[in-house]
Amino acid sequence: MAVYTQLSAGTLGDLVAQYDVGQLVSAKGIAEGVSNSNWLIETTGAGAAGDTRFILTMYERRIDRGDLPFFLDLLDFLSARGLPVPRTIHDRTGASFRLLDGKAVALIEFLPGVSVDSPTAEQAHDLGAVLARMHLAAQGFSGTRRNDLGPATSSRVLAECGADALAAIDPALPRAIRLAREVAERWPADLPQSVIHSDLFPDNVLMLGSAVAGLIDFYFACTDAMAYDLAVTHAAWCFGEGGKDFRHDIGHALIVGYESVRPLLGPERAALPLLAQGAALRFVSSRAFDWIDTPAGAMVTRKDPMDFMARLEFYREAGDRAFA
């Protein structure tokens, strides 16, 4: 989440009026993240549900407009099946998104809950179980989307950034070019698949106590290996500041929770160390690209790719021990 585009109160009010949600009361920009502009919207409430809080998203970067029906229909599909996923608010014509000055915008249900900086093992266990439930439910979703941020893309993006630009971020970062190429060459192609979230960081999970109250920000969802999604989540949840201080209790609870709903197959478990390296490289490459490419003046917090270089090195050294 971020804010690249500034919208006036009048523009926001006119936009909200296209939905059966009442009149605009307030709008607050959300600075976290790097891909879209987002606002927390409050209205007077209307319609059967009477909700008064929503997330308004303007799609700015990386997201192809042609993918929006996949993303937004997926939210509705999972929400209708009891997953803690926000539904899309459709406008008065029934459309799931609208165009504003040539950019697509969507209004999404606001879910209560808090994103945690330091999760507990109980929270990780519940997240694992919810992730497995999501994977099983999503196998019934009719839409498909190729993962365009897989290991081959990570390798290409890092190579295109170039060693000099990467070294300007950190002298150790150019090493990622070779490591990404090696991981892409070894990547497994035959693991069980579903629609996956692929970006399940703590700030994309809302907790109420020890229970998951919401999975949000599905804009990198795609059809890929379920074990890869688990590895992404493991890499995102199990480390302290700067990608250091691996928390075995969190990783163990996450996997136990997942397997309480969907036991991993032998090839999936054997692949986890490599999948986690691929997950780490995905964020090394995207953060390095964003660090170089983020426009001046954008209300965006740049993220350090070295955070995930540290996680990559851990997974390379730990191997299976990281998932015991």
Q: What is the pLDDT of residues 101-143, one digit of tens each?
A: 889 999 999 999 999 989 999 999 999 999 999 999 999 999 9
For residue 124 the two structure tokens come to: 């990780």
Does residue 114 belong to any structural domain of this protein? no
Integer Cα distance of 294 and 34 in angstroms: 8
pLDDT of residue 78: 98
**Span 60-68, average pLDDT:** 85
Paired residues of 98 in beta bridges: 105
Integer Cα distance of 65 and 61 in angstroms: 10
| Residues whose CB is less than 8 angstroms from the CB of residue 122 and which lie 6 or more positions away in sequence, other chains included | 210, 253
Does residue 17 belong to any structural domain of this protein? yes
**What's the whole-model pTM score?**
0.91
Does residue 1 belong to any structural domain of this protein? no
**Domain count along the chain:** 2
pLDDT of residue 36: 82
Does residue 246 belong to any structural domain of this protein? yes
Confidence of residue 212 (pLDDT cuts 50, 70, 90): very high
Residues 94 and 197 grouped into a single domain: no
What is the extent of the structural domain holding 97?
9-109
3-state secondary structure of 107: strand
Confidence of residue 1 (pLDDT cuts 50, 70, 90): very low
Tell me how far CA of residue 156 lies from CA of 162, 176, 179, 188, 282, in angstroms.
10, 11, 12, 18, 11
Phi and psi for 196 in degrees, rounded to 5?
-120, 160
Domain boundary (54, 83, 109) is at 109
Residues 85 and 222 grouped into a single domain: no
Residues 183 and 268 grouped into a single domain: yes
For a pLDDT cut of 90, what percent of the chain falls above it?
84
Residues 182 and 319 grouped into a single domain: yes
Does residue 116 belong to any structural domain of this protein? no
- CB atoms closer than 10 angstroms to residue 110: 19
Does residue 4 belong to any structural domain of this protein? no
pLDDT of residue 33: 52
What CATH number corresponds to the domain at position 150?
3.90.1200.10
Residues 43 and 186 grouped into a single domain: no
Residues 102 and 148 grouped into a single domain: no
Integer Cα distance of 46 and 249 in angstroms: 45
Domain boundary (80, 109, 138) is at 109
Domain boundary (75, 109, 143) is at 109
Residues 91 and 130 grouped into a single domain: no
Residues 206 and 162 grouped into a single domain: yes
Taking alpha carbons only, the member of 284, 183, 200 closest to residue 238 is 200
Residues 290 and 180 grouped into a single domain: yes
Residues 37 and 133 grouped into a single domain: no
pLDDT digits (tens, 9 = 90+) for 297-307: 555 567 899 99
pLDDT of residue 300: 59
Q: Which residue did the predictor score with more confidence, 42 or 296?
A: 42
Residues 204 and 282 grouped into a single domain: yes
Does residue 299 belong to any structural domain of this protein? yes
pLDDT of residue 47: 65
What CATH number corresponds to the domain at position 36?
3.30.200.20
| Residues whose CB is less than 8 angstroms from the CB of residue 5 and which lie 6 or more positions away in sequence, other chains included | 37, 58, 60, 103
Integer Cα distance of 235 and 181 in angstroms: 19
Does residue 161 belong to any structural domain of this protein? yes
Residues 158 and 261 grouped into a single domain: yes
